[in-house]
Amino acid sequence: SQQGEEDPQALSIQEGENATMNCSYKTSINNLQWYRQNSGRGLVHLILIRSNEREKHSGRLRVTLDTSKKSSSLLITASRAADTASYFCATVRGTGNQFYFGTGTSLTVIP
Amino acid sequence: KAGVTQTPRYLIKTRGQQVTLSCSPISGHRSVSWYQQTPGQGLQFLFEYFSETQRNKGNFPGRFSGRQFSNSRSEMNVSTLELGDSALYLCASSPFQGSNTEAFFGQGTRLTVV
């Protein structure tokens, strides 16, 4: 079963607006990562935030992590039509590369 | 640098058959993981290999197996296929086994069981 839940399940916005997705997880983690998936293809890594970090930026992406609430958020600023995709959070526990993925948020950016 | 290559991209098999999927990781990457993605269950971890050894295994029946070769290429095998095995199978590679590394995913193999 999945490790976490994401909300909203689907999000539709106009180009230029900001998009915020939330992820909640259940157990302690080493890090949390966000991935993007375009229509049934492979996942592309977006950003990794370690458990001792609270916020991280990469270009138009901003990720926050609150380990006390076991939650994370991904903010995409000034969205573009090319950002249309599904976004997944993934948590990593232990020392391996075993990822536990959330349920995903389907983002549609309307030109 | 070539990415993660999965072959074949698409497969159609009949119930009861077996199937073998292949994954070639990024050159120099020694960790390979496999995931199953279905609309109902989402992305679920199958297993992880590092230096030819299975390091972790997800909650899947014994019909799902895998292996990793000395060149880090990996295969996964599903025997006695069931309709519910229809899914996108994704392979991911990482340079080493460590919890703070990103994974690089292939485009997946779309398996349809009829």
- Tens digits of residue pLDDT in A28-48: 888 899 999 998 788 999 999
* B33 close to B91: Cβ distance less than 8 angstroms: yes
For the CA atoms of chain A, what is the radius of gyration?
A: 13
In the prediction, which pLDDT does A30 show? Answer: 86
For A45, the enclosing helix (H) or strand (E) is strand A43-50
Q: How far apart are CA B50 and CA B85, in angstroms?
A: 25
Give 3-state DSSP helix, strand, coil % of chain A, rounded to 5.
Answer: 5, 55, 40
* Residue A104 contacts B, CB cutoff 8 Å: yes
Q: Does residue A1 surpass a pLDDT of 50? A: no
In the prediction, which pLDDT does A29 show? Answer: 86
Task: Looking at the complex, report in whole angstroms how far the Cα of residue A50 sits from the nearest Cα belonging to chain B.
Answer: 7
Picking from A36-40, A90-94, B1-5, which range would have the lowest pLDDT averaged per residue? A90-94
In the prediction, which pLDDT does A6 show? Answer: 85
> What residue spans of chain B are helical by DSSP H?
none
Contacts of A103 in chain B (CB under 8 A): 42
Total Cβ atoms within 10 A of residue A63: 24
* Residue A52 contacts B, CB cutoff 8 Å: no
pLDDT in tens, B28-63: 999 999 999 999 889 999 999 999 999 889 999 999
Task: Looking at the complex, report in whole angstroms how far the Cα of residue B21 sits from the nearest Cα belonging to chain A.
Answer: 15
* Residue B70 contacts A, CB cutoff 8 Å: no
The residues in B 22-51 lying below 8 A from A, measured between CB atoms, are: 31, 33, 35, 41-45, 48, 50
